[in-house]
Structure 1
Amino acid sequence: MISASVSPATYTFNLLINGLCHSDRLGDARQLFDVMPHKGCHPNEFTFGILIRGYCKFGLSLQGLKLLDTMKMMNVCPNVIIYNTLIASFCRKGDVDEAERLVERMREDGLLPDVVTFNSRISALCNSGKILEASRIFRDMQIDEVFGLPRPNVVTFNLMLQGFCQKGMLEEARTLTESMKKNDIFFNVQSYNIWLCGLVRNGKLLEAQTVLKELPQNGVDPTIYSYNILIDGLCKNGMLGDAKMLMSLMINDGIFPDTVTYSTLLHGYCTKSKVTEAKNILREMMKRGCIPNKYTCNTLLHSMWKEGKVSEAQQLLQKMNERGYGLDTVSCNIVIHGLCQTGEVDKAVEIVSEMWSHGSVALGDLGNSFMSLVSEDDNGRKCLPDLITYSTIINSLFREGNLDEAKKKFVEMMRKKLYPDSIIYNTILHHLCKRGKVSSAFQVLKDMETKDCKRAYGLIIL
């Protein structure tokens, strides 16, 4: 266009800026925006809206806010959508105060906040635990028509329902659901799922089961997520028989379990040390063509090590590799913890050292039984030690009285830019105090304060 002496219009620039923002090329989009005046084009409200949305997408809310000031300087009036984009962005970051200032600024510009604006504010307040403030805004939206406030929609109701449930305010949540039913708003599966989550989280499992049965009666089809919510709650409360029965009812209703369903049930059996039943779940899962993920396998792997079924754990690791799941840091940590529990700390230490250069391939050092499950792929090399790895090793070395090696691992961890948390510090404090090395413990305490890590629960021992 430029070579043919055809001057691009503002609309043309807007198309390209929008394309660049969607392609994650925000810097190029901003350069093009800055070039517009030199090409005889002036940004309009759509240009600003596109770029502000791009900044907010990348979490750069302050840069977007600066563009709002630029709009005023260029005599371009912002619209409700631009304000809502910025308000929602600040709300997502938890900056409720800035969002509130933008609402006031919006009114000063003669723009009335709409239901999207209010939903963003309510969501932010609920996420930051300010349920009463959110409830006050919600109430005003329902009754205050003098100031022209927007009426709440189903999203508003769902946000408040979720806020009440997360805060444990079940009576308020129950009252809200009744209000939603009277107003024919409590009709979609999302609302029911929020209510189910709230009931399960607060231990109301019988009521949750009743609500789940109500869905078809009220013309709402439950989803696999609806069933998984309740199955998870039953498993966490040790009601494995009920969870299994619910899964059977789900299948009878034509909804087949997914990986989450089986993994939840498998985890429940592992928690109760019922490894045989857990393995049966895994077999049933595979039989139905439902592919287990790393979480599923790691859950079972951890349970086997915990029960001392080392050979079965090794077989599972081999099958994980054969089926292409690969081994992640969690898998390695389970093996390292298992070795430490069985007194093979030296092997565990060796694996940690090898993980830095070979990833999960380091497990091959355990012996021939593990050699078949290791591979030289990139995923294996990315499997690096983390704080849990070092916490396990350091604790085990201290427990065996090998203080020098424990200190070496602590230094190694720091050298690898893995900075200790309060758990590792407390472990060190506990063992130093237990061995009467109080002066060394105080040195560790000073190091904690220097690193701004102040949760020294280990000092109770002093």
Structure 2
Amino acid sequence: MFTGFLRPLRNSAAPLPTPRRGFLSHKLSPTTTPPPFPAGQEEEAIFEAVCVNLRRRKWGFLRQVSPALTEHLVRRVVLRHRASPLLALEFFHWTQQQKQQKRKDLSPSLESYSAMIHVLVTGRRFDEALSLMKHLMQNLGVPALHILESLVGICGGCGGSTDAFDALVRACTQVGSSGDAHQVIDRLRLQGIWVSIHAWNNLLGFLSKSNDNCGEFWRIYREMLSCGYSENINTFNSIVYALCREHRLWEAFSVLNRMLKSGVLPNVVTINMLIDGCCRNGEVGVAVKLVKKIQVLLGGIVQPNCVTFNCLINGLCKTGNAAVAESIVRVDMTKMGLDPNVRTYATLVDGYAREGNLEEAFRLCDQMVRGGLFPNTVVYNSIIHWLFKQGYVEEVSCLLSEMKGFHISPDHFTYTILVDGYCKNGLMQDAVGCHNRIKEANITKDVYSYNILVSHLCKIRDIRGAKQLLGSMYAHGMLPDMVTYSILIDGYSRDQKLDDALQVYEEMVIEGHRPNLTTYNSFISGLCRVETFDVARSVIDEMRTQKLFPDSVTYNTLLSGYCRSQRTDDAFTLCSEMRSRGVMANEVTYNVLINHLCKVHCFQEAQEFMKLMFNRGLVPDYITYTTLITAFSKRCSASEVIALHDYMVIRGVLPDEYTYNAIVSLLVQREHEID
């Protein structure tokens, strides 16, 4: 077998022993063909030849012998090169290419993948090992437990590293499957294989950041402790992060105390998590004190770094304290010998722009450049966003030209901000043109940018244009998502085209999207507009059968419909139903009722509802103020209007400037003239 290429193999492999001159030499002649190898020797010769030529990277020779490469040989070659993991990986990928080109039976087996993974892990090439594991799970559909079984088998046969099992747990979490990660840990324990603390910590770290119920995090944590493990710094950091996410800030600080008592020293990651947790939980003042006193509190064992200050600066800027944040950069960071980086400046620029102070934002950009740092796309995206917010459309064009001059390419977020900004400033043609340029910029269009356009087209009642855009999505190979369908249903409902809304709804269900609360609320809004309240009530009943329960938006929509149709009894019955079902009335609920009572000239009752808002901890807004003041000015005396104004303002209601100037100030002036 394979006699056709045994000759080149012999030329490339280790030389065969040359017979000594003597009694055998006369029996051999140059034309004599040696006897064929026995089967085992033949494979050995191929193996040695492949290894020699692989080290020399003679891919042409390897292509010649590829028909002789069995899975067993591939595995042996990979394991032989465990000291050169990248060369082994190159060979492994080459076998895959050969399979795709001509030899479909050369597809690497799970055992070959496992051998390759062990070689990579032993060589500390963890990223490459993780990539192979994720390829097995995501692209080839191999279950994690099958991979584990193969890894265990290879480990016993070739002396691989148990670090491969930790890597498998990490690969499971990287593909978003905490369940598979836990199954791997369970199976290892059942087989009597020690699971390292790193595997547990990886699973805990993933669960602490998961958007799902944090109960799973605490369950796994308790299971780890019950197995006899002690927390290390990474475990404690995951606990701190989980507690901060659950708004249990002071418990997170108590973990810091427990760490010190158990002899585990916190690191800068621990401190950064606590500072970020303080900022996210509205305790920015505590975060500032912690940064300023951390070295004293921990005896200098932890030094704040740039990330520490960036967390604090972000918290201050998000709460409207950009100037305080900048002073911390100037004073505290400088004192510690830390230089602000691009992210620091990006946060400060966004903070000032968020406050409407674009001059300070541009000053910081100039300061960046003078300091040797150049604004990146994040900085430009922030400024463009806030320029649009304040209506500075021409300035956006100048900024885009500046980006081009600095060779900074707009990214996906830039185009999304541009599309949204043009739409909100009433420039739909520019928005569509910008959306069309996304593809020209080699940036993949996504459903989100389409949804922005669809939403704005529906708001300006251009439903036909929205449907055409939907067709464009299909043409570009994209399917509408739940948001797209909900926007269209809402658009048709607002336009009182309920048949079209229902058609979109049915299409959505056929495409496998389950309607959510927003979808149902849009339907109910449309039904109330055409006063088909019985159908609206039946939709609410259907929601409950789908385990979707009406929220304040649902009830307020129906309540507003009842009030517009003068169905006062139904409106107050609905309010009672809200309370009985545990849905709290909010400012919108009271504003709807107050507006209705004013329209039917029940001014005292409207005023009582306003007082009831205060009693229940709700502060009336400018809508409440405008509704009451406008109604009272038409039917009540000037003194009653002024008294109502004073009552609300003293209790923190911000009056609408136009209403105050048009009504209250004139009445006050008239009262003074009479006096």
TM-score (norm. length: structure 1)? 0.81
Asked if the contact 1:305/1:334 (under 8 Å) is kept, the reply is yes
1:394 corresponding residue in structure 2? 559
User: Given the alignment of the two structures, is residue 84 of structure 1 paired with residue 249 of structure 2, yes or no?
Assistant: no
CA distance 1:385–1:155, shift in 2 (3 Å): same
Change (3 A) 1:79 1:62: same
Pairing 1:385–2:550 present:
yes
Write out aligned runs for 1:373-452 (5 A): 381-438=546-603, 440-441=605-606, 444-445=609-610, 447-452=612-617
Give CA-to-partner distance per residue, 1:34-62, whole Å, 9 cap, x none.
997xx9x7x76566445434534544332
Structure 1 Cα separation of the partners of residues 434 and 560 of structure 2: 42
Structure 1 position 229, deviation (Å): 0.6
Quote the offset at 1:355 in angstroms.
Answer: 3.2
Provide the C-alpha distance between the structure 2 equivalents of 1:340 and 1:95, rounded to a whole number of angstroms. Answer: 43
Work out which of the two has the higher radius of gyration on C-alpha atoms and give 1 or 2: 2
1:328 Cα offset (Å): 2.2
Q: Is residue 135 of structure 1 aligned with residue 337 of structure 2?
A: no
1:167 aligned residue (344, 347, 355): 355
1:118 aligns with 2:309: yes
CA contact (8 A) 1:26 1:55 kept: no
Q: In the alignment, is the contact (CA less than 8 A) between 1:44 and 1:76 conserved in 2?
A: yes
Correspondences of 1:31-46 after superposition (within 5 Å):
none
2:439 to 220, 245, 251: 251
Gaps of 5+ in 1: 359-380
Are the counterparts in 2 of residues 355 and 384 from structure 1 also a CA contact under 8 Å? no
> Using the alignment, how far apart are the partners of 1:51 and 1:76 within structure 2?
14
The alpha-carbon deviation at position 237 of structure 1 amounts to: 0.9
CA RMSD, aligned part only? 3.1
Partner of 2:491: 303
Instruction: Mark the CA change 1:172 to 1:346 in structure 2 (over 3 Å): closer, same or farther.
Output: same
Give the Cα–Cα distance (whole angstroms) in 1 for the partners of residues 293 and 223 of structure 2: 28
Shift of 1:103: 2.2
Output the CA distance in 1 between the equivalents of 2:563 and 2:246.
45
Report the AA paired with residue 26 of structure 1: W
User: Is residue 18–residue 50 contact of structure 1 (8 Å, CA) maintained in 2?
Assistant: no
Unaligned runs of 5+ in 2: 1-188, 208-215, 633-675
Question: In the TM superposition, what whole-angstrom CA distance separates every residue of 1:416-453 from its partner, at most 9, and x where no partner exists?
Answer: 11111111112122223332445544554454344222
Match of 1:29 in 2: 221
Distance 1:31 1:255 in 2: 46
Higher-RCO chain (CA-CA 8 Å, sequence separation at least 6): 1
Aligned to 1:236: 424
Change (3 A) 1:83 1:337: closer
Q: Deviations over 1:143-171 (max 9, x none)?
A: x4xx3341111221111111112111111
8 Å CA contact 2:496–2:529 kept in 1: the answer is no
Query: In structure 2, what is the Cα distance between the partners aligned to 1:349 and 1:103?
Result: 55
Q: How many residues align?
A: 425
Q: Distance in 1 between matches of 2:244 and 2:566?
A: 53
**Alpha-carbon shift at residue 206 of structure 1 (Å):** 2.3
Distance in 2 (CA, whole Å) between partners of 1:16 and 1:244 is 49
Separation in 2, partners of 1:316, 1:76? 58
Which stretch shows the higher mean deviation, 60-69 or 126-135?
A: 60-69
SS in 2 for 1:25: helix
Change (3 A) 1:342 1:350: same
The CA distance in 1 between the partners of 2:240 and 2:550, in whole Å, is 40
Which amino acid in 2 is paired with 1:218? Answer: F
Local SS of the residue matching 1:452? coil
CA distance in 2, matches of 1:332, 1:46: 44
TM-score (normalizing by structure 2): 0.57
Confirm or deny: 8 A CA contact 1:391 1:424 kept in the other structure.
yes
Q: How far apart are 1:123 and its partner, in Å?
A: 1.0
Paired residue for 1:262?
Answer: 450
How far is 1:86 from its partner? 1.7
Aligned to 1:348: 536
Q: Deviations over 1:311-343 (max 9, x none)?
A: 333332232222223322222222222222223
CA–CA distance in structure 2, aligned partners of residues 434 and 70 of structure 1: 62
Matched, 1:198 2:198: no
| Contact 2:439–2:445 (CA under 8 A) maintained in structure 1 | yes
Partner of 2:573, secondary structure, is helix
User: What amino acid sits opposite 1:403 in the alignment?
Assistant: T
Aligned residue in 1 for 2:415: 227
- Greater alpha carbon shift after TM alignment, 53-62 vs 274-283: 53-62
1:148–1:335 CA distance, 2 compared to 1 (3 A): closer
1: CA distance between counterparts of 2:438 and 2:500? 32
Deviations 1:149-196 (A, max 9, x none): 411112211111111121111111112222323444225332332232
Counting aligned pairs with the same residue, the percent is: 28
Alpha-carbon displacement from aligned partner over 1:219-267 (angstroms, at most 9, x marks no partner)? 3332222111111100111111111222233332333432122221222
AA matched with 2:572: K
Determine which of 523, 530, 533 is the counterpart of 1:335: 523
